[in-house]
Chains A and B, each alone.
Chain A
Amino acid sequence: MRTTAPLTLLVVLAQALSPGMSIPPGESEQAGKTEIRDVFDDVQRGISQGNVAIFSPHIHSQVRVTLHGGETGLYSANQAYYLLQNFLRDRKPVSFAFTTYGESESTPYGTGNAAFTFRGVRQHAQIYVALAREGGRWVIMLINIY
């Protein structure tokens, strides 16, 4: 007993510190989904508050952006930040929430309706955000505000 206790403790510690051994596959998938949902939550919060900085850390280094009446193309994360920031500066967000999620594929997406005030007039836009796995984390590969 006296000799096996430290060994047992060591094994338990090793198991606890090793993520591959300690988290069952089902839980890992669940963790991935949570991570995806966290990204979408940040996007939702960022767009609702008109603050791109909330979700800009999730933007991939090269991202496709399509903005209603504005820019369309493949941009760097820095460009996307300022493009979206300028877009949201001109259009004051009134409301936005993702209504549909597609999380079962390797490119999860979320889409929903947003309302903005643009030059004093209420506008509606459909927002589509797609993610991809890059460097061990989920990043935004596509943002469409249309």
Chain B
Amino acid sequence: MAGYFSSLSAKVTRARIPPAAAAVAALFLLLGISRAVHSGLVSSYETRWDQVSEEQCRGHLSIAIARFSQEQQSLRRLVDGLAASPEVHAFFLNKGSDRTPLFDRLAQLSREEGVGIDVYDGRGELAAWEGPGGPVPSGDLARALEGRPFTYVVRTPVSSLLLIGIPIRIADTVRGIGVVRRIIDSSAPLNNPLLRQEAVDEQLSREIGTTVEFSFAGEGETVNDSRYCSGPMYGPDSTFLGTVSVLRPARVMFFDSLGNVFQRIDAVLSVLLLLFAGWSVARPVASVRSPALGALLITALIWSIRYALLWLDVPSGFLSGGAFDPGMFASKFGFGLAKSIGELTITTVALSLNVALAARLWVRKSASIPSAARAPLPARVVAALAATILLFWILRGYAAAIRSGVFDSGLTYFDARVLLPSPGLVFMVFNFFLLGTCTIFAGIALALAIARWCSPAEGDSVSSSGWIAAGVLLAFAGVAFGMVRGTPLTSTLYRLVFGFGVLMAARGYQKLSAAGDILELRRYALLILAAAVVLLYPLLDDFVHEKDRGRVEVYAADELKPVDGWLKHVVEEGLHGFESEGYRERLSEGDAGDVAGIAFERWSSSLACSQGYDAMFTVIDPDGREASRFVIGSSIAGMTEADTALPLSSETIVRVRNFGTGVNALKVYAGSMPILGSDSALLGHVRVVVAAGQQALFRGETPAILRGSSEARMESFYRRVTLSEYRDGILLTSNNPLVPIARPLPEPVSEAFTDSTRASLWASEEIDGDRYETFFVRRGPTGIISLGLKELGATWHIVGIVKLAAGWAIVALLLILWWRIVQWRRRVPFRMTFRDRLLIALLVTAIVPLTFVAFYARVYEGEQQMETLEQQLDEETQGVIYNITEHPEQGVSVPAFPDTPLKAEELASDIGTDFNIYTDNRLRVSSRPTLYDVGILDTRLSGNVYAKIVLGGKRFVIQTEKIGSVEYSVGYRPILDANQNIIGVVSVPTLFRSEESEEQAARRNALLLGTYAAVLLLVVAIAAAFAGRIAAPVQKLTEATRRVAKGELDVHVSHEGAEGEISELIRAFDQMTHDLRRNREDLVRYERELAWKEMAKQVAHEIKNPLTPMRLSIQHLRRTYLDGAANFREILESVTKTVIEQIDTLSRIASEFSSFARMPRRNLDRLEVGRVIEEAVRLFGQETSVVFDIQIGDGIPPIVADREELRRALINIIRNGIQAMDGAGSILIRSSRDGGGVALSVKDHGKGVPADMIGKLFMPNFSTKTDGMGLGLAIVKKTIEDLHGTVMLESEVGVGTTVMIWLPSAEPERKAPA
């Protein structure tokens, strides 16, 4: 097979099929094969579907069962490892030893393995513990002490835990028991950070690609659902633990997924096909002569590929999340070109490629913008106006894209809570960067064109009046464009600055490109990149601000609108969710422990949860007893039973009741519904109560982390929103405690609302020294509600700019890296000026220590923060203990714990600190019982805390705890009685303070970022100034040396600003140029004299040759005349012919000398070498005895040369060849790409030249011919070397001569091959 392919490859090569075309054909073939295989598989699976389905399901089932066994084994190994540990040995073998090391070991294991772990002693009493746990039945403990391990599954309202108890044996004697628990499945669908620990069933579902469900109900229970195949799971002693069910592959699903696989293969092949087809089309497009047509074709090609990718849904069809999630960003622009950040990135890259390729093509083909200078004035004015409108239209498009980037995305651009920009933000900044750069490049091109068309002068140069006229035009257009309705451009000033900026940029570009300074042009490009930041920030800032205000208005509308319909729906959705088969089964089984969790589970997947309403979900058994209840939010928790009660009827009922007045007005929507079993027997009733009102949303009332995943709520703002209500012009209430009670409505607002038709207005107000921009909106005849956004000061702008610049820097670094790789591949030496090196050295010297300082400052600041937190928790725990203690007389204190969660909550509210109290190592009361009630938090005191406080006697302990993905600190302090005995432990967690800590982080980050940004800017400015000052004399010297190298010796370098060695160097340089100048003058004089002498000698020699025959002929004529010769007439004819011939020779000699000496003005142009060769050969058409073989290779780059001069050089070489072959033979002319240039050779089959003469052939006056001047090849050499090329000659006597020429391509920085 390999041989076949290599022979096919050889045939393809011989047949000269372009590789891209071969690839296209191969891809078509593969596409056909893919289709055929797909059809074959579908047909095969269709015929034996039942067998395939069963095999697949059984395969998945065995994987799931094996995985469950692995989990058990892993837990057993963990306990075995613990049993072998020195801490366990020390505890069991040394009676009465300190248990603290054992607690430490368990804390480490629990943290590392994510398990709860207990150690029981030989009497079955709990000796040490850590992590979540609960009581183990004494029967199991007794069996384990007899050497029999036990395994079972414990179910909590939110999850199921696999529990394994293993006897701890030391020297073959059972000394105790190790019990370990791990979450095996999660039954709560709530998308909450507390539950983000992926359970085994979720991992399995993801790995296998189908639904896997664990059921830990009783043995023998079969799953009747035919969509699943199920199997039992056993413990080590064959104890039945539960059932695992795997969703059977549905026929449609199976064939859909099979189709998806082939669809992806087809998409990949199609994309490759597109790329190869595009590549094969791109090369001919690049060789199109017209730059406009070439640019158009390239544009068409790029966008055809882009839209083809969209049509194939690549890569969105493969990747649905992350950068391709429309929830992060989506715009309908361009039929899906920006339907996600990922797609937008592909689009902006395509756009940049388009702009870059079109610009490159344009520069290569014509090197200039079309000049309309010779067109009549009206035509030029129209062209300039059209270009101006186009320029602002491009700017408008750019602004619209930025606006969409803000309004159509969920990204928070300037959120100071997070120090580093998120990946989404970096992607977006990258897109903005590309769009901004394209806009600026287009702006420069258009501004150049406008200035040229506004210039009265002819030709390519733009006069000052042209620039001024262009400036005026841009300014007027900028102002006028503001009148276009719906334009997303912000201020007139912005448009004017943009117009002025592009004009200056265009002028700078023209100056630099005219000077041909590539290095400066690169720096200029960097300046453009920096300008892209400046262009972006004001727009982004404006749009973000506008969006914030829009969101506030939406929230205001939410507050005002009647919500009856919606809230009834929320209640009904809550009720009907109970009708699912799963709940019915659990209610019919009547397991009290299981039913207790139902209310929380239903709530966690309800709209009431995701929308954040205060709610109560209750399950009532058929006897009218409450079986399960979950309450969230203080407005409902504070209500009496009578407030929320509804008759339990056989129908669904929803009722609305009003409570309170004014801002405290509350509407309660309550509904109840019977739940019937499959036999229509009553299983119980469910009741859902939802409260709505300004104060009713449970934010701030219940742990923020227990909310749903909705980010649309007001809390998702990165700055504080103050919600207040005024009645009759006086503040009734506000969620911001800084707003003074009974504050009057700000006067301008009050006046504005005297107009009864006014519904709302934005106004600025001051609250506690801070400025707020507030939206006031009328509510009822006398009420006004206000939503105030804290105004953003300088810190905001600094954070915004720094974060934007950080994203920018990442992008810029990647681009620089890419550019360096390209240069390295092209073997272009990296050029950096002395100033650049100096600047980098200074910046490194300054920034490296600054970075260390920043790092250590951050570490120190973190430690300080921890210390502050420790101190705060220490004081708060003391405060809680003080408040739960009674003081009947001086010096006597008696602990008096709150006996209900409500009392604890009231106390917490009074002292402003949430707390928990533990007695006998168990939670006694909590001011936030919700998380304990639903089993998310463990009610057992942390083992580590027990060891430190109870065993170690510490008076305060702080430790970091974790649930799901949330980490928080908790302070613990013992509660002592009058005899200093520990009677309990109080804990103060920071779990409920996420908003507070986020705000602190935002403030800290803003301060840090601002300070470091300012210091960094200062360092860069100082380093740049120093580097400039030190490098200036060196730069002057470099420039002067460059001029001297070009032949300018009249150079003088100023000593100003130079000191020490540099000053000496300048003096020495000046002296050197002075000496060089004098020497050159002497040399020139000497050379001139020498040349004159040589020329005179040569002219004399050359003239003498024809003069001799002329003299002899005329003497012969005179003698024959005097002799009266009879054939005088014939002699006269002969002599005059000879004389005329010699005069012609003299004339030719004169013209050859003239052309050698003459320095005509070159007319350089981009030339195709092949065409010049053809033109030169065409002149030898009359040479019928000479055969020309012309071989022009592929992909020859254009060169820069004077067409006439190059053609003359070729004619000289060809003529020499013909003469060397005595006018008959063949001449081979070859041309090919060689390195960065073009190689050209002319080979004749003439007499050849001896080796010792080859070196002299290019010298003037040397010739092997009798009739030549010896100047032909000298002129060729001069022509080629003037074009920075090389010419060489190879010859062999009797075989022939080859003249080899190499010329650089039109691309810069290409060198001749060595």
Q: Interface on A for B, CB 8 Å cutoff?
A: 61-62, 64, 66, 71-76, 78-79, 81-83, 86, 102, 105-109, 111, 117, 119-121, 126, 128, 130, 132, 142, 144, 146
Q: Which 6 pairs show the lowest CB-CB distances between chains A and B?
A: A120-B253, A120-B250, A74-B712, A82-B326, A73-B712, A102-B565
Q: A72 to chain B: which residues have CB within 8 Å?
A: 610, 708-712
Q: How far is the CB of B488 from chain A (nearest CB, A)?
A: 13
Check B610–A66 contact: CB distance below 8 A: yes
Please give me the residue from chain B that is nearest to A79 by CB atom: B330
Output the least CB separation between B805 and chain A (Å).
27
Q: A66-B610, A79-B326, A111-B569 are in contact. Are A117 and B562 (CB under 8 A)?
A: no
Residue of A with least CB distance to B256: A120
17 residue pairs A–B, Cβ–Cβ below 8 Å? A61-B550, A62-B550, A73-B327, A74-B711, A76-B330, A79-B408, A81-B330, A81-B332, A82-B332, A86-B320, A102-B565, A107-B563, A120-B249, A120-B250, A121-B250, A128-B573, A130-B566
Other A-B pairs, 19, CB within 8 Å; known A109-B565, A132-B557 = A61-B550, A62-B550, A72-B709, A76-B407, A78-B332, A78-B404, A79-B326, A79-B410, A83-B326, A83-B330, A86-B326, A102-B565, A105-B564, A106-B562, A107-B565, A109-B566, A119-B253, A120-B254, A132-B561
Tell me if B923 counts as interface (CB < 8 A to partner A): no
B residues less than 8 Å from A106 (CB atoms) = 561-562
Q: How far is the CA of A119 from the CA of B305 in the complex (A)?
A: 32
Which residue of A is nearest B247, CB measured? A121
Q: Does residue B227 face the partner (Cβ distance < 8 Å to A)?
A: yes
Contact of A62 among B551, B561, B611, B710 (CB under 8 A): B551
Cα distance, A29 to B159, chains bound together (Å): 53
Residues B551 and A144 in contact, CB atoms below 8 Å apart: no
Residues of B within 8 A of A111 (CB): 569
Instruction: For B251, give the chain A residue with the smallest CB separation.
Output: A120
With both chains docked as a complex, state the minimum distance between the C-beta of A50 and any C-beta of chain B, in angstroms. 15
Chain B residues whose CB sits within 8 angstroms of the CB of A117 once the complex forms: 252
Q: Is B1312 an interface residue (CB 8 A)?
A: no
Closest residue of A by beta carbon distance from B189: A69
Chain B, range 57-90, C-beta contacts under 8 Å to A:
none
Contact pick for A78, options B250, B320, B331, B569, CB 8 Å: B331
Q: A72-B610, A74-B551 are in contact. Are A107 and B566 (CB under 8 A)?
A: yes
Q: How far is the CA of A107 from the CA of B748 in the complex (A)?
A: 32
Q: A120 to chain B: which residues have CB within 8 Å?
A: 249-254, 256
> B554 at interface (Cβ–Cβ under 8 A)?
yes
Query: How far is the CB of A83 from the nearest CB of chain B, in Å?
Result: 5
Q: Is the CB of B250 within 8 A of A119?
A: yes
What residues on A are CB-neighbors of B565 within 8 Å? 102, 105, 107-109, 130
CB-defined contacts of A126 to chain B, threshold 8 Å: 573, 576
A58 to chain B, nearest CB (A): 14
Q: Collect the chain A residues with CB atoms within 8 Å of residue B404's CB.
A: 78
Asked if A79 and B563 sit within 8 Å, CB to CB, the answer is: no
Bound Cα distance A78, B326 (Å): 9
User: Is B607 interfacial (CB 8 A cutoff)?
Assistant: yes
A109 & B410 in contact (Cβ 8 Å cutoff)? no
**Do A75 and B410 have beta carbons less than 8 Å apart?**
yes
- Kindly identify which residue among B251, B253, B562, B611 contacts A105, using a CB–CB cutoff of 8 Å: B562
Q: Within 8 Å CB of B563, what residues of A?
A: 107
Pair A146/B573 contact, Cβ less than 8 Å: yes
Query: CB-CB < 8 A to A144: which residues of B?
Result: 607
Whether the pair B562, A75 counts as a contact (CB closer than 8 A) is: no
B544-567 at interface with A (beta carbon < 8 Å): 550-551, 554, 557, 561-566
- Provide the residues of chain B in CB contact with A128, threshold 8 Å: 566, 569, 573
CA distance A117 to B252 in the complex (A): 10
In Å, the complex CA distance between A74 and B610 comes to 13
| A64, A71, A120, A128 pick with most chain B CB within 10 angstroms | A120
| Distance of A62 Cα from B551 Cα, bound (Å) | 8
Cβ contact within 8 Å between A107 and B408:
no
Whether, in the assembled complex, B354 has its beta carbon less than 8 Å from a beta carbon of chain A, the answer is no
What is the size, in residues, of chain B's interface with A at 8 Å between Cβ atoms? 44
Cβ of B724 within 8 Å of any chain A Cβ, yes or no, is: no
The answer on a CB contact under 8 Å between A82 and B227 is no
How many angstroms from the CA of A36 to the CA of B887 in the assembled complex? 68
Q: Which residues of B contact A86 (CB under 8 A)?
A: 320, 326
Distance in Å from the Cβ of A94 to the closest Cβ of chain B? 12
A83 and B327 in contact, given A107-B566, A120-B256, A121-B250 (Cβ under 8 angstroms): yes
Q: A83 to chain B: which residues have CB within 8 Å?
A: 326-327, 330
Interface residues of B in 665-723 (CB under 8 A from A): 708-712
Q: Are B326's CB and A64's CB within 8 A?
A: no
Interface check B940, CB cutoff 8 A = no
Q: Is A76 a contact partner of B408 (Cβ separation < 8 A)?
A: yes
Per-residue contact bits, chain B 235-265, to A (CB 8 Å; 1 contact, 0 not) = 0000000000001011111101000000000
Point out the residues of chain B lying under 8 angstroms from A109, CB to CB. 565-566, 569
In the assembled complex, B972 has its CB within 8 A of some CB on chain A? no
Is B339's CB within 8 Å of the partner chain A?
yes
**With the chains together, A72 CA to B607 CA distance in Å?**
10
Provide the bound-state CA to CA distance between A64 and B612, in Å. Answer: 14
A113 to chain B, nearest CB (A): 10
The answer on a CB contact under 8 Å between A75 and B250 is no
Chain A residues closer than 8 Å to B551, beta-carbon distance: 62, 74
A119 to chain B, nearest CB (A): 5
In the assembled complex, B160 has its CB within 8 A of some CB on chain A:
no
Q: A107-B561, A107-B562, A132-B557 are in contact. Are A146 and B712 (CB under 8 A)?
A: no
B403 CB to nearest A CB, Å = 10
**Interface check B1305, CB cutoff 8 A:** no
Asked if B276 is an interface residue, CB under 8 A from chain A, the answer is: no
- In whole Å, how far is A110's beta carbon from the nearest beta carbon of chain B? 9
Question: Which of B330, B404, B407, B564 has most A Cβ within 10 Å?
Answer: B330
A120 to B573: give the CA distance in the assembly, Å: 25
Point out the residues of chain A lying under 8 angstroms from B427, CB to CB.
none
- B329 proximal to A (CB < 8 A): yes
Which residues on A sit within 8 Å (CB–CB) of B877?
none
Q: State whether the Cβ of B1279 lies closer than 8 Å to any Cβ in chain A.
A: no
Asked if B340 is at the interface (CB within 8 A of a chain A CB), the reply is yes
The answer to whether A74 and B569 touch across the interface, beta carbons within 8 angstroms, is no
| Cα–Cα, bound, A142→B558 (Å) | 11
Residues of A within 8 A of B339 (CB): 82
A106 CA / B254 CA spacing, docked (Å): 47
**Which residues of chain B come closer than 8 Å to A82, judged between CB atoms?**
326, 330, 332, 339-340
Q: Which residues of A contact B554 (CB under 8 A)?
A: 62, 74
